[in-house]
Amino acid sequence: MSTEQVLTNGRIVTADGEFEGTVVVRDGLIVEVSPDRSCAAAVDLEGDYLVPGLVELHTDNMEKHFAPRPGVQWPSMAAVMAHDTQIAAAGITTVFDSLSLGDVRGETDRVKNRARMVEAILAVSERRLSRAEHRLHLRCEVTPDDAVAAVDQWIDLPLVGLISINDHTPGQRQFLDPAKLKQYYMGKFAMTEEQFEAFHARSLDLHSRNAARHRREIVSRAQARALPLASHDDATRAHVAEAVENGMTIAEFPTTREAAEASREGGLAVLVGAPNLVLGGSHSGNIAAIDLLRDGHADILSSDYVPASLMEGVFKLAAAGIGISLPQAVRLASLNPAEAVGLGDRGEIASDKRADFVRVRLHDHAPMVRAVWREGERVV
């Protein structure tokens, strides 16, 4: 039996503009977008914004729910559902949960919990228990001895939709400033100076033995399955040239203007962090997202470690006065990421697209999510 619903009296944000209007949904798909106000029985949006459901390609938010404190293993289903609720409440209707298949620090909580996280995501997805649609982004750390074995274990799961190549060896990519590097590791992981030096030496040894070989093998596996590939934390033109040679199409969090420019020149979609945008700069001392966006060197926004930062970043960017309109800002967190991973059925408010929506109201210039629909079904 066909079901229809009408949402009217809203500020509709499409890929190209915004206007007061109405959206008609039938059987989970958008069938009409109109600048008119409907007189039919409808959901009155009361002048709030209606934007497409956001598409998140890189968030490690789930890890903190599985290990809320060091050594604590929270029950799997409770953890994934808490993560899902937080994601949906942020206006994200499609999320690629980025799971680290390795860690430069060894057998950390994220490594110990990876099987539990995968199993929980598969369970909620198969039973359609989640509010958002969950897919898997495998973050492949290239230095651990078991890096390729870990990829082989998970890469053929049907929910896998993105592979990224990561090298968090201290000093390689993420931290160009040695002082910031030491501050981060000693502060976040409570390392003494002696422990940091030992960790640094061990990491460099693993890198020299494994990184190049593992990178080749993992890239080959992703290419054989036609999975989208992303580079991570590129800092130099040489890094980008390697990414282009490997057939990568997304550049996650380039750390320098040089790398971002080279990525765009090489045809890669550049992904930057919404927390960086909201806070006005990088906590690692790298290039500010707002500078790359201002110069036209960024294509995708990601919430990274703060789900709510994605919607906040979209509206902050539109209000920043740097020539980016609200529809353009919204595209960075919806249509652009969807297209980057081949999801052509979502990411914009247009006929024949999935009815994934977010109702947003501004309070003191801050966006507040008031309702979320996934495929026409209200989930928040």
Q: Give the pair of three-digit tokens for residue 225.
A: 């399955």
Name the pLDDT band for 77 (thresholds 50, 70, 90). very high
Bin 218: left if φ > 0, else alpha if -120 < ψ < 50, else beta: alpha
Residue 203 · residue 169 · CB < 8 Å: yes
Q: Domain limits of the chain?
A: 53-345
**Average pLDDT across the chain, whole number:** 92
Residues 6+ apart with CB under 8 A from 163: 137, 138, 140, 151, 155, 218, 222, 227, 228, 229, 230
Instruction: Tell me the β-bridge partners of 165.
Output: 140
Mean pLDDT of 16-23: 96
257 band by pLDDT with thresholds 50, 70 and 90: very high
Q: Is the pLDDT of residue 335 over 60?
A: yes
Least confident of 36-40, 136-140, 218-222, 271-275: 36-40
pLDDT for residue 104: 63
| Least confident among 73-77, 141-145, 189-193 | 189-193
Cα gap 136→210, rounded to integer Å: 24
- Residue 125: pLDDT over 70: yes
Which tens digits make up the pLDDT trace of 41-61?
789 999 999 999 999 999 999
What pLDDT is stored for residue 194 in this prediction? Answer: 81
Res 167: pLDDT: 87
Distances (CA, A) of 31 to 3, 11, 154, 355: 12, 18, 37, 9
What pLDDT does 177 receive?
62
Model pTM score: 0.92
Which range has the worst mean pLDDT, 21-35, 107-121, 212-226, 306-320?
107-121
Mean pLDDT of 235-253: 96
pLDDT of residue 176: 60
Q: What is the pLDDT of residues 87-117, one digit of tens each?
A: 999 999 999 999 988 776 767 778 889 999 9
Burial class (CB in 10 A: 0-12, 13-18, 19+), 208: exposed
Amino acid residing at 9: N
pLDDT for 184 beyond 80: no
Whether the per-residue pLDDT at 1 is higher than 60: the answer is no
CB atoms within 10 A of CB 308: 19
- Please give the pLDDT value at position 175: 62
CATH of region 53-345: 3.20.20.140
pLDDT of residue 108: 75
86 in Cβ contact with 44 (< 8 Å): no
The pLDDT confidence band at residue 369, using thresholds 50, 70 and 90, is: very high
Angstrom CA distances, 170 to 132, 180, 227, 272, stand at: 35, 11, 28, 21
